[in-house]
Structure 1
Amino acid sequence: MLLLFLSVLLTLIYCSHGDLIADTCRKTQYPLICISTLRSNPHSRSADVKGLVRFILKAALGKANTILNLANDLLKKTKDPILRQSLDTCISVYQDALDEIPIAIENVGKNNVEASDNASATFVDADTCEESFSNSPFAADNKAVKQLAVVAEDIIGSLG
């Protein structure tokens, strides 16, 4: 009987956290990227809303780091002055993002205004990088960073 009770309790806990992800993501502008990002992280199943937004921000941080590394690699390989200028812009803004996102993560639940401001700055960084190219090699990744930053802002806004 105790085993049955524990089994039902664990199932309810698991389902309630699964619902928390769906409920939280449904309130964002980009619910699909929110859900897919959180469901791909097994630790998100046991997180509260603050934990969920931290996972979203960590995913944005990973994408930002990927773009920064790719931009640095491309910069080493090109002599085209226009491409170099665009890459320099991306490198600069993503270096900023790599500073801003950890601050946002740290401030979730402590200083939500600052956390939201840093998520917003990350959105601007991705947009600035994208707009520096006529044909961006980072279009998909910039889009993902922007959407994750907006999702983070939306969730942080729900925290009050």
Structure 2
Amino acid sequence: MLLHLFSSVVVSLSSLVDLLTNPRDSVSSTSDSCHLSPDPSPLLCPTSTSEDAALVEPPAARRKMGSLAFLFLVLLPLSFPGFIHQSVLLVSGDVDLIQNTCKSTKYYDLCISSLKSDPTSLKADTRGLATIMVGIGMVNATGTYSYLSSQLLSTANDTLMKKVLKECADKYLFAKEAFQASLHELSSEHFDYAYMHVTAAADYPNACQHGFKRYPGLVYLSELARREEELKHLCDVALGIIDLLDW
């Protein structure tokens, strides 16, 4: 807002400088219209008098006023450097907050890349960063649920695999709901409950893996193992940020 205000002041002062140094330009169009009109209006095209001529400033005075206005235009940003640097400092400060916050988590790089993927992170406080991270976890759990649902369709003839995949899909759906509950608690500033729900979301994939282990003939899908690890890491990052909140 301050930068926008400063820009408006610069434009206004620039116009003032132009008006002071070239006053005749501002009335040239009106004067031309009056000369070309067959019946000029006395209101729009008044007849100049000797008194009007006396009021016209000499060129030297106009140049002096123009120079003063230009000097003011130059000195203004030097007197109020905050106008120019406001937005830069704001972004820099928010980047520092993200970096310092991520240093408190188990997976710094994952934290940085995840938060930077959301443009609102640059304007967020610590609770806002926790909210963004929990939201990313919810999207991840939803994606795995969709993946498992598609796998169910491709294993329609394998009753045992279909059963286990259905159990896994249910667990990731529960994880998604746990993230949703955590978001609600964060908005209500019930940070202990928000932490608890993320912990639950991280635990649901374990039940999926155990489902495969119950049947020795089934192989735990490598893609599912990758997704499980990714979700757990996201949960660890979210928990690390929630830990920083005052609760």
Q: TM-score, normalised by structure 1?
A: 0.91
Counterpart selection for 1:46 from 110, 123, 140? 123
Residue 101 in 1 paired to residue 179 in 2? yes
Separation in structure 2 between the aligned mates of residue 70 and residue 144 of structure 1, nearest angstrom: 14
Question: For residue 29 of structure 1, what is the aligned residue in structure 2?
Answer: 106
1:30/1:151 contact within 8 Å kept: yes
Aligned to 2:109, what secondary structure does the other structure show? Answer: helix
Amino acid across the alignment from 1:5 = G
User: In the TM superposition, what are the counterparts of 1:104-123 in structure 2 within 5 Å?
Assistant: 104-108=182-186, 110-123=189-202
Counterpart selection for 1:14 from 47, 70, 91? 91
Separation in structure 2 between the aligned mates of residue 141 and residue 3 of structure 1, nearest angstrom: 52
Aligned to 1:132, what secondary structure does the other structure show? Answer: helix
Question: For residue 84 of structure 1, what is the aligned residue in structure 2?
Answer: 162
Residue 135 in 1 paired to residue 224 in 2? no
Separation in structure 1 between the aligned mates of residue 233 and residue 81 of structure 2, nearest angstrom: 42
What is the RMSD of the two structures over their aligned residues, measured on CA atoms? 1.7
Q: TM-score, normalised by structure 2?
A: 0.61
Q: How many residues align?
A: 160
Separation in structure 2 between the aligned mates of residue 94 and residue 11 of structure 1, nearest angstrom: 41
Separation in structure 2 between the aligned mates of residue 113 and residue 30 of structure 1, nearest angstrom: 21
Identity, in percent, stands at 24
Separation in structure 2 between the aligned mates of residue 31 and residue 131 of structure 1, nearest angstrom: 29
Point out where structure 2 has 5 or more consecutive residues left out of the alignment. 1-76, 213-218
Of 26-35 and 100-109, the range deviating more from structure 2: 100-109
1:60/1:144 contact within 8 Å kept: no
Structure showing greater relative contact order (alpha-carbon pairs closer than 8 Å, 6 or more residues apart)? 1
Look at both structures and tell me which one has the larger radius of gyration over its CA atoms. 2
Of 87-96 and 1-10, the range deviating more from structure 2: 1-10
Separation in structure 2 between the aligned mates of residue 124 and residue 93 of structure 1, nearest angstrom: 9
Which is richer in helix?
1
Separation in structure 2 between the aligned mates of residue 29 and residue 156 of structure 1, nearest angstrom: 13
Aligned to 1:158, what secondary structure does the other structure show? Answer: coil
Amino acid across the alignment from 1:154 = G
Separation in structure 1 between the aligned mates of residue 109 and residue 207 of structure 2, nearest angstrom: 24
